[in-house]
Amino acid sequence: MTETREAVRGTPVVPGVAYAPVIWPSPRPELEPGLPRIDASSRDGEKLRFEEAAAVVAQRLRDRASTASGAATEVLLANAAMAVDRGWLGAAQKLIADGTPAEEAAAQATEQFVVLFTKMGGLMAERVTDLRDVRDRVLSELLGLPEPGISTPETPSILCARDLAPADTAGLDPEMIVGLVTVLGGPTSHTAIIARQLGIPCVVAADGLESVTAGTTVLLDGEAGELVVEPDPGEARSAVEQSRADRARIQGWKGPGRTSDGVSVSILANVQDGAGARSASTTAAEGVGLFRTELCFLDRDSEPGIDEQAEIYAEVLEAFAERKVVIRTLDAGSDKPLRFVRQVDEENPALGVRGIRIAADNPGILSRQLDAIALAANRTRSQPWVMAPMIATAAEAASFATEVRARGLVPGVMIEVPAAALLADRLLEHVDFLSIGTNDLAQYTMAADRMSPELASFTDPWQPAVLALVARTADAGGATGKPVGICGEAAADPLLACVLVGLGATSLSCAAAAVPGVGAKLGTVTLDTCRRAAEAVLATSDPVEARAAATLIFEG
Ligand code: PEP
Ligand code: MG
């Protein structure tokens, strides 16, 4: 890529190269100040007008959900539910009943929830973008304006935005939107998750992006995290061709995972429900390394019964019959609150009652889930591995393992808390495997909220301090011969995945769309090279240096 052109740099999220003009989303509706108040006699009609607008928006989002798939469907359905959420509708109707016009009521009611969600932090804070997106859609409907956001361009384009609402990214057509760049967003933001699923080259936290105007032709490199403005057309076209050839080679990768010198490393998929598992089973993924069970229940008011849970878990086990499936027990709280899980108000939910800690305050919730997993295992004649999230002590690991073994299942724990990584050898006295969640491990090691775009460089999984804890955990596994997998986003980065193998990881689990890229890259390097890269990375002081050290070893 030419060095002399103006370039914008950000955090690389989805590899791939695109050369196309830039588009920006259409502006959000502006609310004129001083709208006349509503007469008492017209307030019922105004309430109806508001309700109808919200219903239209919800229906549009549901329609788009019916043509989307996987995470995109979830996101659109969640936003549709938000548009007709009783709490939000009620707050707006109360304002209308006092004479506030519907447009202002929608805006004010939204801000009430924005304040609440922001205070809650984590994933709830990230949902503020969704809330404002729903508000803008309802406002446009009330004002008789076209739907805000992204309209499908006439020629393939690179979509640039300050931040993208999930409802925007969820409906994207990868044939027409060939690249995504945002000013905000971290590697685990909604934009990143959907871009990864759709395989659209993507860069987030791109500083200076706002100076790149609509219509400018740019070259986006999702692996380097770079956007070159008005590049040399010849160079740009050959970069795209090279990237297409690389992609075709990658898509042709069929597994199983192993290094070029034949050392086996299973490449697994992260899934969140039966549909996701069925779609992952059509890829080269050798199994499921992380089934995030809590994501099946985000919209539930009450805890699903054992039978219903068993049916849901069985769908995933069936999709990967006779292959490895690792089921994680409910990781509720903080960024993933579940309505049926009792939780106290906390100043700092990421450091509060979340993951395995919810079991203490919710008697029976863990044992009922384990019963359901055992039932699903029985029905599908499979032997899933079962792991607990957010383990911090050996005592937690011991008690979890006892419960899991009592049901004839294989127990393991996630390593997401530095304390657990440091004492991995002692945790392994109780469980049969470990799985490192690098997203949370980075958050807690670096004391940086994983959802914060401002802190994205801290939570970069290439942070040498995080990798030092991965090394310590893998060493503990190596000493006992017990498997240590990686299931955080780090495993989706082909280069980093090879470093993780060099550090001693025995399996890698990532979004299904990332599986071929990881497998293909691993197949080009020897275990010894991975180990040398791991050693070099551990000797660095920051993520940029770490990435460069690994690149030098793998790519010369
Ligand atoms: C992690 O923390 O890396 C992980 C895999 O769990 P989640 O992203 O669901 O918190
Ligand atoms: Mg986690």
Is residue 494 a contact partner of residue 523, using CB atoms and an 8 Å limit?
A: no
Distance 299 CA to ligand 1 centre (A): 19
pLDDT digits (tens, 9 = 90+) for 169-223: 766 788 899 999 998 877 666 677 778 778 899 998 898 999 999 999 999 999 8
Q: Which uninterrupted H or E stretch holds 454?
A: none
C-alpha 549/C-alpha 536 separation (Å) is 6
Weakest mean pLDDT among 346-360, 376-390, 471-485 = 346-360
Pocket test for ligand 1, best of 330, 440, 443, 467 (most atoms within 8 A of CB): 440
- Nearest Cα to 370, choosing from 303, 310, 294? 310
Q: Which residue has the tokens 């928006």?
A: 57
Q: Which ligand is nearest to the CA of 439?
A: 1
Task: Give the model's pLDDT for residue 334.
Answer: 76
Question: Domain map of the chain by residue range?
Answer: 7-26+150-249, 41-143, 252-555
Query: What pLDDT is recorded for position 3?
Result: 45
Averaged pLDDT, 506-526: 94
Pick the CATH number of 41-143 from 3.40.50.1820, 3.30.70.20, 3.40.640.10, 1.10.274.10: 1.10.274.10
DSSP H helices, 171-273, are: 190-198, 233-251
* Residue 328 Cα to ligand 1 middle (Å): 10
Per-residue pLDDT for 266 more than 70?
yes
Nearest to 331 by CA among 358, 301, 310: 358
What pLDDT score was predicted for residue 166? 62
pLDDT digits (tens, 9 = 90+) for 277-317: 999 999 999 999 999 999 898 878 899 999 999 999 999 99
Least reliable range by pLDDT among 114-128, 152-166, 279-293? 114-128
Q: What is the 3-state secondary structure (H, E, C) of 334-347?
A: CCECCCCCCCCCCC
Give the pLDDT confidence of 12-63 residue by residue, as tens digits.
Answer: 888 899 999 999 987 788 888 888 999 999 999 999 999 999 999 999 888 8
Closest Cα to atom 3 of ligand 1: 437
Q: Give the three-class secondary structure for 217.
A: strand
Q: How far is CA 345 from the centre of its chain?
A: 25
pTM given for the model: 0.74
pLDDT at 1: 43
CATH superfamily of 252-555: Phosphoenolpyruvate-binding domains (3.20.20.60)
> Which residue type sits at 19?
Y
CA of 377 to the centre of ligand 1 (A): 24
| Higher pLDDT, residue 143 or 333 | 143
Looking at residue 301, its pLDDT comes to 87
Q: pLDDT confidence of 122, banded at 50, 70, 90?
A: low
Indicate the range of 215-224, 315-324, 333-342, 439-448 predicted with least confidence.
Answer: 333-342
The two counts, helices (H) then strands (E), for the chain are: 22, 16
| Both structure tokens of 332 | 């509720």
Write out the catalytic residue numbers.
190, 487
pLDDT of residue 94: 95
Confidence band, pLDDT 50/70/90 cuts, at residue 130: confident
Q: Answer with the residue of higher pLDDT: 239 or 123.
A: 239
The reply to whether 252-555 shares the fold of 41-143 is: no
Segment among 307-316, 328-337, 489-498 with least mean pLDDT: 328-337
Res. 2 pLDDT band, cuts 50 70 90: very low
Q: What is the mean pLDDT of residues 269-278?
A: 93
Q: pLDDT at position 220, please?
A: 97
Cis peptide leading into residue 174 (ω within 30°): no
Atom 1 of ligand 1: nearest residue by CA position: 437
Kindly state the average pLDDT of the residues 535-545: 96
Beta pairing partners, 217: 21
Say what the alpha-carbon torsion angle 76, 278, 265, 499 is, to the nearest 10 degrees.
Answer: -10
User: How far apart are the CA of 437 and the centre of ligand 2, in A?
Assistant: 5
CA distances to 316, 318, 547 from 273, in Å? 7, 12, 33
Tell me the mean pLDDT in the region 468-482: 98
Q: Helix 128-143 to helix 71-83 angle, to the nearest 10 degrees?
A: 60
- Band (pLDDT 50/70/90 cuts) for residue 348 is confident
pLDDT, residue 421, reads: 98
Beta bridge partners of 486: 436, 508
Q: So what's the pLDDT on residue 79?
A: 86
> What is the distance between the alpha carbons of residues 446 and 483, in angstroms, rounded to a whole number?
26
Output the pLDDT for position 167: 65
Among 416, 438, 500, the mutation site with the greatest number of ligand 1 atoms within 8 A of its Cβ is 416
Find out whether 150 and 25 touch, Cβ atoms under 8 Å.
yes
Binding-site residues, ligand 1, Cβ < 6 A = 290, 292, 331, 416, 437-440, 487-488
Least confident interval from 71-85, 180-194, 318-332: 180-194
- Ligand 1 atom closest to the Cα of residue 292 is 9
- Those residues whose beta carbon sits under 5 angstroms from the ion ligand 2 are 416, 437, 440
Tokens coding 173: 């057509």
The whole-number average pLDDT for the span 454-470 is: 92
pLDDT more than 70, % of the chain: 95
- Homologous superfamily, domain 7-26+150-249: Phosphohistidine domain (3.50.30.10)
User: Residue 389 Cα, ligand 2 centroid: separation in angstroms?
Assistant: 7
Q: Does the pLDDT value for residue 116 go beyond 90?
A: no
70: left (phi over 0), alpha (psi -120 to 50) or beta: left
How many CA atoms, within 13 angstroms, populate the side-chain half-sphere of residue 282?
6
121 pLDDT above the threshold of 70: no
What's residue 273's pLDDT? Answer: 92
Q: Give me the mean pLDDT over the 344-368 stretch.
A: 89
Q: What token pair was written down for 515?
A: 């599986």
